[in-house]
Structure 1
Amino acid sequence: MHTLGQVLVALVALIHVYVVLLEMVLWRTPRGRAAFGTTPEFAESTATLALNQGLYNGFLVAGLVWGLLASGDLQRQVETFFLACVAVAGLVGALTVSRRILLVQTVPAVLALAVVLASR
């Protein structure tokens, strides 16, 4: 069960690596605009906001990786905290931006959190 939890934490981290790339690097590109359903004009006018948002998602990645590299009680505490942060951010995103965020961000984080908590 512990291994499954670590795989799920890594999956959540990888999802957020992709989000970081979309927001910080690909925001103005056709791929970035398609992912978020934006126009070229909107992407251009919000690029600095997306860069900032991508940085925050990068902090989530860093925390999840920290959890994966930690051991013992620290591992569980760090993973629990950062998975909860991802889940809450996903809920806010689903309420304010798109319900799709619930499936992409919140559901994987909640599943990983459930397994991490159940595995110890």
Structure 2
Amino acid sequence: MPLAASIVTALVALLHAWFLVLEMFMWDKPLGRRTFRLTPEFAAQSKNLAANQGLYNGFLVAGLVWALVSQRADVAMFFLGCVVIAGIFGGFTVSRRILAIQALPAAVALGLLFI
């Protein structure tokens, strides 16, 4: 894998590791509520759903780390593609911010893999 693609892929992995922490452990805490713009009541009611969502982000991190350690572009493409698709879906169903925060960095990493 090219160095630039590896760096951006690592950045995407770090972002998703942070999403895991926010969703699994901080969802109903002030930082999590502020980040996701949640009321205390909604955060308490949806805490288990958010933890499940955070776990999925952990699987993306594991796949991206696997790609980086093994230097396998095909593995990176698969997991970055998953991130892009999830980011697009979230951008259209939850918040447009997700397009920039999640989908764009993964799309840049994907683009760098093709260069």
TM-score category (smaller protein): over 0.9
Q: Which amino acid aligns with 2:80?
A: L
1:28 partnered with 2:28: yes
Secondary structure of the equivalent of 2:38?
coil
What is residue 112 of structure 2 aligned with on the other side?
A: 115
The answer for the alignment partner of 1:41 in structure 2 is 41
Question: C-alpha deviations, 1:28-62, integer Å up to 9, x for none?
Answer: 10100111000000000000000000000110000
What is the alpha-carbon distance in structure 2 between the residues aligned to residue 35 and residue 94 of structure 1?
Answer: 16
Looking at structure 1, the residues matched to 44 and 10 of structure 2 have their Cα atoms a distance apart, in angstroms, of 32
Q: Which amino acid aligns with 1:23?
A: E
| Structure 1 residue 117, shift from structure 2 partner | 1.8
CA distance in 2, matches of 1:34, 1:88: 25
Which residue of structure 1 aligns with residue 9 of structure 2?
9
Q: How many angstroms apart in 2 are the aligned matches of 1:117 and 1:56?
A: 26
Which of the numbers 56, 76, 80 marks the counterpart of 1:79? 76
Number of paired residues? 115
Partner of 1:98: helix, strand, or coil?
Answer: coil
TM-score relative to the length of structure 1: 0.94
Q: Check whether the contact 1:80–1:117 (CA below 8 A) recurs between aligned residues.
A: no
CA–CA separation in structure 2 for the residues paired with 1:16 and 1:115: 19
Q: Secondary structure at the match of 2:104?
A: helix
Q: Give the secondary-structure state (helix, strand or coil) at the position aligned to 1:28.
A: coil
How many angstroms apart in 2 are the aligned matches of 1:36 and 1:70? 34
Question: Within 2, Cα distance between the matches of 1:61 and 1:106?
Answer: 15
User: Percent same amino acid at aligned positions?
Assistant: 51
Name the SS for the 1:77 alignment partner. helix
Per-residue deviation at 1:116? 1.2
